[in-house]
Amino acid sequence: MKHRTGHLSIALAIVLATFLLTCQGSLFALDEIPETAQVIIQRIASERIGGHGYQLVYRVNVPIDYYWRFKTDFDNSFLIDNKFIREHHFISQNGKIAITETQYTYQPDFFFRWQTRLFPERFRLEFSLLNPGQCKQKYHHGYIQLEPEGKNTRVTQVAYFEFWGATFWVYNPWKGGMQDFLSYTARWEQATVLRLKDQYQEDNDTQK
């Protein structure tokens, strides 16, 4: 019995070591699906000691102008279709700075107040959490950069954060972990922007 237990412990150690090594690079890459639908998540070095960071890259099958209008439509109702979002509120927008509040299903006691700064000439958004203390976080900020790829758009999202339990969230490969949250969110957005494409195409054509 002890002999079998020893082998089991070694096997578990090998599995854990393999997983941790995998986390140093790409956490999630679906190579068997079309390139335009790939979702790639990488853990990146934090800006601060003890913090965490990630880079999320995916593609959406709409032109960059349409996607920009979708991504900057802060006063919307479609975000609550995301299973991780319970409530979304548009607070204000002053020029190129928008304020929104989001209540997530996994932290229903808090409203995360986000500030998003727009750089339309570069198709870039920079976001930061305005009330980290109220959400039991030390900080959370990052950016979203869009790039045209033919008739599609490449999306790169980078975030830096620190909160209690962040290490477990980052390395948890199962439901509720960073991989699950980010991969679902990217795929949800890929589907949602296609569903709403006509709406943003009409808005875009109206402004021409």
Measuring CA to CA, how many Å separate 30 from each of 40, 79, 150?
8, 25, 21
Q: Give the per-residue pLDDT at 23.
A: 37
Judge contact between 140 and 51, C-beta under 8 A.
no
Q: Give the per-residue pLDDT at 113.
A: 98
Give the domain CATH number at 81: 3.30.530.20
- What is the CB neighbour count within 10 angstroms for residue 40? 19
- What is the CB neighbour count within 10 angstroms for residue 39? 22
Judge contact between 142 and 126, C-beta under 8 A.
yes
> Could you tell me the strand order of the sheet in which 39-44 lies?
26-29, 39-44, 52-60, 152-163, 137-149, 124-129, 107-119, 97-104, 85-94
Decide if 34 is inside a domain: yes
Query: Can you give the residue range of the structural domain that contains 84?
Result: 28-207
Q: What is the 3-state secondary structure (H, E, C) of 125-176?
A: EEEEECCCHHHCEEEEEEEEEEEEECCEEEEEEEEEEEECCHHHHHHCCCCC
Tally of domains in the chain: 1
Q: Give the per-residue pLDDT at 202.
A: 60
Decide if 12 is inside a domain: no
Contacts for 130 with CB less than 8 Å, ≥ 6 apart: 99, 113, 114, 115
Q: What is the pTM of this model?
A: 0.80
pLDDT (tens, 9 = 90+) of the chain, 208 residues, equals 545 444 444 333 333 333 333 333 344 333 344 544 689 999 998 878 889 999 999 999 999 999 999 999 999 999 999 999 999 999 999 999 999 999 999 888 999 999 999 999 999 999 999 999 999 999 999 999 999 999 999 999 999 999 999 999 999 988 989 999 999 999 999 999 999 989 888 655 544 4
Q: Give the per-residue pLDDT at 203.
A: 56
Decide if 18 is inside a domain: no
Judge contact between 32 and 38, C-beta under 8 A.
no
